[in-house]
Amino acid sequence: MKICLFGASGFIGSNLALRLSESGAHEVQLCDVEDAKLRLRFENAPFAYEKVDISKDTDRVDELVRNADLVFDLAAFVHPAMFMSKPLDVVKLNFFDCLNVIQSCVRHNKRLIHFSTSEVYGKTGGSDASFKENETDLILGPIENQRWIYSCAKQLLDRMIFAYGVEQGLNYTLVRPFNFVGPLMDKFAKNWDRSDNPRVFANFMSSLVYDRPLQLVDGGQSRRCFTYIDDAISALEAIVAHPNEMNRQIVNVGNPRNEATIADFAQLMADTYVKHFDPSARPVIKSVASSDFYGKGYEDCDRRMPDISKLTSIGWQPQFGLEETVMKSMQYFVQNKTRLVELLGE
């Protein structure tokens, strides 16, 4: 099968690209605005990369979609700090530019796997129930809380993809990732920057390596289910391999057994770092107000617990527990620090 990935050099894209290529079953075309993570992931193995900016190269995007059997759309701005500092850029890329890719899939009748987000569910509204793709209400805060702009842009695109399926027969799967963690997630941030700091694992990893305090936003009582990237990629492979069962489905990808508060996650990372990587380290964990960390307009998703029955029904189960997820992810960053900084900056 000919598979085309947009956003292929991101965290998920680079890990997925390697696995799809290694399977030998597919011809894989990798498109992004840059290829640093692909170079890191593939090391010396060859890969088919083309520099394609989905916001500008619309004719080329259309050609690439026409030539493919399956299209993955992974291109997005994903850091919560950016939802606050550059909300219009987030909507432009995550909604309007991705819409071009989706419309090409409609035009050429191509199967699409589009990346939505667990953040679409928003807040729990006090419920303890896990998030179900076809049942759970999507609860976002007021407009002035700009944190929700990413969720809202992604939600509108989800609704349009659904409508393209109903009205024009688009074959698609909407994937909702729940806090994937692992090699090549974001990057080290030597100096913490409010406008573009990475997601929580990379933030804490940077703090440990550069001997800065790990910062718990508003005390770190929100909860997440951390999913090891290898489990996530296996789920994506299962989705690719079950086109009929997964067609016109929204699918949560996450590990419900790996739930932790952010405070507990920080403690686990700090303990793991001292025990396995730097016995002389003395990590400090401190609480910080969200208004200082992200600026005005931040509001959190209090809990994200996925219902994964759609994926278990096709035989997928996550394999990596929380300790192993943290250990393996940290190991990659520590062992590859020099190369990561060289290729991705810090």
Could you tell me the smallest distance in angstroms from the CB atom of residue 301 to ligand UGA?
A: 6
By CB atoms closer than 10 A (0-12, 13-18, 19+), residue 346 is middle
Q: Could you confirm whether 172 is annotated as catalytic?
A: no
Amino acid at residue number 245: E
Q: Which letter does DSSP use for residue 258 in this model?
A: G
Our CB check for ligand NAD shows the closer of 9 and 171 to be 9
Q: Is 99 in the site for ligand NAD (CB under 6 A)?
A: no
Amino acid at residue number 298: Y
Stretch 105-134 residues interacting with ligand NAD (CB under 6 A): 115, 117-118
Q: Is 200 in the site for ligand UGA (CB under 6 A)?
A: yes
Contact (CB, 8 A) for 261 and 223: yes
Instruction: Give CA 55 to chain center in angstroms.
Output: 20
Which residue among 150, 164, 172, 298 is the active-site one? 150
Stretch 240-279 residues interacting with ligand UGA (CB under 6 A): 262
Interface mask toward ligand UGA for 287-316; x: CB under 6 A: -------------xx---------------
User: What number of other Cβ atoms are within 10 A of residue 324's Cβ?
Assistant: 12
Tokens of 299: 């509001």
Query: Binds 76, which of ligand NAD, ligand UGA, none (CB < 5 to 8 A, cut-off by type)?
Result: ligand NAD
Q: Is 80 in the site for ligand NAD (CB under 6 A)?
A: no
Q: Is 76 in the site for ligand NAD (CB under 6 A)?
A: yes
Helix (H) or strand (E) holding 259: strand 259-261
Q: Are strands 2-6 and 70-73 parallel, antiparallel or unpaired?
A: parallel
SS3 content of the chain, % helix, strand, coil (to 5): 45, 15, 40
Q: Is 35 in the site for ligand NAD (CB under 6 A)?
A: no
Tokens of 184: 């090549």
Contact (CB, 8 A) for 277 and 334: yes
Task: Give every CB contact of residue 147 below 8 A, 6+ residues apart in sequence.
Answer: 80, 83, 84, 141, 294, 297, 298, 299, 300
Our CB check for ligand UGA shows the closer of 35 and 299 to be 299
Q: Measure the CA dihedral 80/261/346/283, to 10°.
A: 150
Q: Are strands 259-261 and 223-225 parallel, antiparallel or unpaired?
A: antiparallel
Amino acid at residue number 67: N
5, 17, 78, 311: which one contacts ligand UGA (CB under 6 A)? Answer: 78
Region from 137-145, 174-182, 301-309, 312-320 binding ligand NAD, contact rule CB under 6 A: 174-182
Q: Is 78 in the site for ligand NAD (CB under 6 A)?
A: yes
87, 177, 198, 220: which one contacts ligand NAD (CB under 6 A)? Answer: 177
65, 75, 216, 340: which one contacts ligand UGA (CB under 6 A)? Answer: 216
- Residues noted as catalytic: 150
Q: Which residues bind ligand NAD (CB under 6 A)?
A: 6-7, 9-13, 32-34, 53-55, 74-76, 78, 93, 97, 115, 117-118, 177, 179-180
Q: Which residues bind ligand UGA (CB under 6 A)?
A: 78, 80, 117-119, 150, 177-179, 199-200, 203, 215-217, 220, 222, 224, 262, 300-301
